[in-house]
């Protein structure tokens, strides 16, 4: 791609829910020469879980699982659209789906995507976070999520399946898809303090619409351990998969060291 005027190094397609503003907020902080990010949205019909619970009388876990089931049906269209741009790599800008069902569920979900994209490289939240934690040699972790209890259970299952000890998960249980991006700084800070422990090797954050890139790098210095946002893990993974090894400062140890 050296002869192209733009995106000489990588054109990365990013698959995101229509309600998500966190992924693009984070991506706009990466002005890397020769790299472009190309978001492709898929429609989210069931957006407000609290309203749905009140209307149907369902438990929040059932509503959230139905939300994910509907979402899965919309994803192929957004992938089809961005593939028409001849991108070099696909990055999934949603994470709950990639943890669902533990390792077996993750493998099945990723295979569905791979069947559609063929030989193009794929970055998922679960896979990127696994590789990031392994880079740091972490064994015991804590997790912050915006999910209800059933989401946290699947996160624990995934990380346990791949060999990590999960000390604590703090689920913020946001009431809607858009409310995830409206989580206050104070809530995130309180969650960090709640899940931290001297025995924990790293703290990670799941849920791509919950941006923590403005907080986690500072808390790495305060706590003396890696704090890894899901969006930073996927950016790092996608860049490295495309052969882009720039060390980026100010966005956390992952991009500075590996």
Phi, psi of 13 (to 5 degrees): -80, 135
- Closest of 83, 9, 16 to residue 239, by C-alpha: 9
- Judged against a pLDDT cut of 90, whether residue 54 lies above it is answered with no
pLDDT tens by residue, 162-199: 999 999 999 999 988 899 999 999 999 999 999 999 99
- Judged against a pLDDT cut of 50, whether residue 132 lies above it is answered with yes
> Which pTM was predicted?
0.93
- Judged against a pLDDT cut of 90, whether residue 231 lies above it is answered with yes
Tell me how far apart the alpha carbons of residues 116 and 111 are, in angstroms, rounded to a whole number: 9
pLDDT at position 73: 85
Q: How confident is the model at residue 1 (pLDDT cuts 50, 70, 90)?
A: very low
Please name the CATH architecture into which domain 10-257 falls. Answer: 3-Layer(aba) Sandwich (3.40)
Domain map of the chain by residue range? 10-257
What is the arithmetic mean of pLDDT over 3-18?
85
Mean pLDDT of the chain: 92
What is the arithmetic mean of pLDDT over 11-15?
97
| Strand ranges for 93-146 from DSSP E | 121-123, 140-145
């Amino acid at each position: 791609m050296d002869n192209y005027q733009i995106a000489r190094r990588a054109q990365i397609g990013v698959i995101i829910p229509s309600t998500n503003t966190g992924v693009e907020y984070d991506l706009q902080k990466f002005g890397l020469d020769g790299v472009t990010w190309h978001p492709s949205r898929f429609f989210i019909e069931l957006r407000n879980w609290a309203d749905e619970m009140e209307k149907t009388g369902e438990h929040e876990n059932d509503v959230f699982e139905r939300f994910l089931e509907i979402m899965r049906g919309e994803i192929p269209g957004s992938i089809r659209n961005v593939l028409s741009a001849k991108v070099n790599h696909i990055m999934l800008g949603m994470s709950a789906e990639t943890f669902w069902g533990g390792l077996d569920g993750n493998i099945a979900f990723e295979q569905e995507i791979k069947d559609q994209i063929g030989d193009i490289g794929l970055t998922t939240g679960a896979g990127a976070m696994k590789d990031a934690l392994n880079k740091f040699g972490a064994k015991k972790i804590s997790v912050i999520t915006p999910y209800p209890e059933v989401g946290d259970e699947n996160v624990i299952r995934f990380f346990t399946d791949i060999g990590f000890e999960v000390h604590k998960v703090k689920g913020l249980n946001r009431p809607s898809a858009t409310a995830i991006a409206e989580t206050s700084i104070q809530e995130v800070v309180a969650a960090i303090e709640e899940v931290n422990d001297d025995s924990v090797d790293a703290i990670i954050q799941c849920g791509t619409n919950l941006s923590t890139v403005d907080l986690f790098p500072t808390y790495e210095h305060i706590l003396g351990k890696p704090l890894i946002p899901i969006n930073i893990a996927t950016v790092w993974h996608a860049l490295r998969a495309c052969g882009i090894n720039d060390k980026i400062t100010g966005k956390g140890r992952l991009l500075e060291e590996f």
